[in-house]
Amino acid sequence: MEKKASNGVRIAIIDYNAGNIASVTNALERFGIKYVVTRDAKEILSADKVIFPGQGRAKPAMEFLRENGLADVIRDIKKPFLGICLGMQLLFAASEEDETECLGIIPGTVRKFRGDMKIPQIGWNTITATKYDPLFRDVPDTLFAYFANSYYAESSDAYTVAASSYGNTPFAAVIRKDNFYGTQFHPEKSGLLGVQILKNFCELGTGTPKTLLVAPAIDIIGGKCVRLLQGEYDKQTTYGDDPALMAKSFVDAGAKYLHVVDLDGARKGVPENATVIARLIKKIAVSVQVGGGIRTIEDARFYLDTGALRIVVSTSALTNLEMVRALIAEYGPGRVVVSVDTRNGLVATEGWKKTTAETTESLLAKLTEAGVTTIIYTSIASDGTLKGPDYEGVGRILKTPFRVMVAGGITSIDDLKKLGGMGAYGAIVGKAIYEKTINIAEAVAAIPSPYISKTSAKPTRAVTKRVIACMDIADGRVVKGTHFKDLKDAGDPVELGRRYSDDGIDELVFLDINATVENRKTLYELAGRIAKNINIPFTVGGGVQTISDIRNLLNAGADKVSIGSAAITNPDLINEASQAFGSQCIVISVDPKKNSAGMWEIFIRGGLDATGVDAIQFCKDMERRGAGELLVNSLDKDGTKSGYDLALLKAISQSVSIPVIASSGAGTREHFAEALLKGKSDAVLAASLFHSGEIDIAELKKYLSERGILIRI
């Protein structure tokens, strides 16, 4: 299967009889990138890049690769290669999953998560860059990504590009060795930022259009806007009495980012204009980075918690590198910038008053080890001169593994274009704007700006709780009723799914509620249509009876498959499915109702037939057989809006170690919080409340976050 587009890049996607191939191909089609899904060695080795999608178990995947001669082919690849999830894990020497010998391209072992957390890890966790890599172009250094894994890669720092943690277990989220990349998460299912990472991989080495973040500078002394010449405080010019008003004028002219420095603070070692800067941050709509006198964690927290996207430290990077490490651990590297200010090859500190014995090269080595990813390079001799940047020095700095902003001497738009062409991330422009040799509006129009966010996620050590929208499907339309009766049309499933994805929902579930009753197959075509239109995970269920059903749904683009009646009538299917595809793909739909004896009894066939099976024991059995997640639909609560069945949820959650999704009964925001806190659920699901707009998804997630619930916002 080959798709063509005008883009000159050609991607080979390795077809190894498993994997989320449809999700990857859908993303590439949205980019207009040519690809071929293949097992042919010549096609793989001749491609510009290779993607190895991942879904399933290690042993059958490696057996397939060896039997088809693909293991050696992968080892021989010289072009950029990306392994996703299992595709990344197979790059390592071995895996504890089925005691599998893997490809051995990267040293290390893939191990199973152990501890009191829910396994598999399913949901959104943060990844944090440990070093800058082109894979993170136009992407924050800390972002939420979607994981579905029971196993993790132990990797040395030498190969780790981004890290994550689950419980007390740190693991590699992104790895790189030479041309081989791997992501433990699913970029194609991690929203816009995750998809951007996939796009960045596809564009490696293609000479993509250069961007540059043009950041007008506002330097403050005594509450006023000033500029210094070569850092000399007795050579200053005042350009305005109100920094906030100056900032507004820059933003009105088109600036997308501002660089603000407390020069009094830089000289004295403590913030002197913090109140003025805080007022500025709150008054403008674009992101701001702040520097000057930030020598303590408390000072840094003040600015970051006030709303600054980044803080800039200079002196502290030399005198208190532990503080820099601590801030990166708390806020992520994307929010901590180190200013490398040089005079004759040596680093200057304390507002440039002191030239140290530290060379630029030795400081950069220390910053790399500390996890810094973004620096500002300033040639003090060029600063304020309007004679052009130190291009020679900039060229040397751009060879180091950092996202680099350049300051000092920038005079014209041609300077900005040249810096962008060289690969600089940003340019800090001061005097040239005030002296009108650079017009902000013209600069922004002439040079594309990289993606920049007003906010950034903090690193977490756990997956977030998830908010899931459910769409019950009948005759290809979304419906909703009470106790599966009195069904009313609620819209087109693809359109609703796309809207929910745009609104920030964490996952989607599509259940064909008539499939079992009418003894017909789940609509594979619908799964394919959905996959082409969204970039977040979704589950499909209804009428799933066989391994073939599951494979067809996964191949169509579904991330997980929900199994209901068949889990009762043919429980061995769960064993077979988890062995074939991995437990992270298998969701069990649990439909209990309290009977006259006080037992939560499982019902099947859309809630029509009682089974006599105890729901708690059933859930334990499903976990033993390899299920990865439980979708608990209380038939007593369905459609009532009286709240989730908290007693049922708590009983199940405390009986198993796999994630539990709460379903049926939500009516208010409080009900969602109760299911997560009192019901011990890992996710909350609703349908009609979202379809009708009765509860806004963004407002619900904000409400949950304000109650101390870890949530992706």
Please say whether the beta carbons of 337 and 308 come within 8 A. no
Backbone angles phi, psi at 509, to 5 degrees: -125, 130
- Asked whether the predicted pLDDT for residue 522 surpasses 60, the reply is no
Virtual CA dihedral for 491, 195, 70, 133, nearest 10 degrees? -170
For the record, the structure tokens of 658 come out as: 């796999």
- Strand 142-149, strand 169-177: pairing: unpaired
Please say whether the beta carbons of 1 and 35 come within 8 A. no
Q: What's 466-706's CATH class?
A: alpha beta
At 543-600, the pLDDT tens digits run 899 999 999 899 989 999 999 999 999 999 999 999 999 999 999 999 999 999 999 9
Could you state, in order of their start, the residue ranges of all structural domains in the chain? Answer: 2-202, 213-446, 466-706
pLDDT band at 607 (very low <50, low <70, confident <90, very high): confident
Virtual CA dihedral for 262, 266, 268, 271, nearest 10 degrees? 40
Burial of 510 (0-12, 13-18, 19+ CB in 10 A): buried
Q: What is the pLDDT of residue 486?
A: 61
Q: Examine domains 2-202 and 466-706 and report if their fold is the same.
A: no
At 209-221, the pLDDT tens digits run 679 999 999 999 9
Block residue for tokens 């433990």: 184
Among 23, 22, 29, smallest CA distance to 4 is for 29
Query: 160 has which bridge partners?
Result: 175
pLDDT band at 519 (very low <50, low <70, confident <90, very high): very low
Give the Cβ contact number of residue 468 at 10 Å: 23
Please say whether the beta carbons of 260 and 223 come within 8 A. no
For the record, the structure tokens of 336 come out as: 């901590």
Tell me the catalytic residues: 472, 591
- Order across the sheet with 600-604: list the strands: 592-594, 600-604, 609-614
At 290-301, the pLDDT tens digits run 999 999 999 999
Q: What's 213-446's CATH class?
A: alpha beta
CA distance 143 to 124: 10
Q: What is the pLDDT of residue 238?
A: 87
Please say whether the beta carbons of 126 and 460 come within 8 A. yes
Nearest 5°: the CA angle 162, 536, 450 is 55
What mean pLDDT comes out for the span 357-381? 93
At 42-101, the pLDDT tens digits run 999 999 999 999 788 999 999 999 999 999 999 999 999 999 999 999 999 999 999 999
207: phi > 0 → left, psi -120 to 50 → alpha, else beta; which? left
Q: What is the pLDDT of residue 520?
A: 54
Taking the complete model, does pTM exceed 0.75, yes or no?
yes
Q: What is the pLDDT of residue 482?
A: 57
- DSSP class of residue 116 equals S
Q: What's 2-202's CATH class?
A: alpha beta
At 123-166, the pLDDT tens digits run 999 999 999 999 998 899 999 999 999 999 987 889 999 999 99
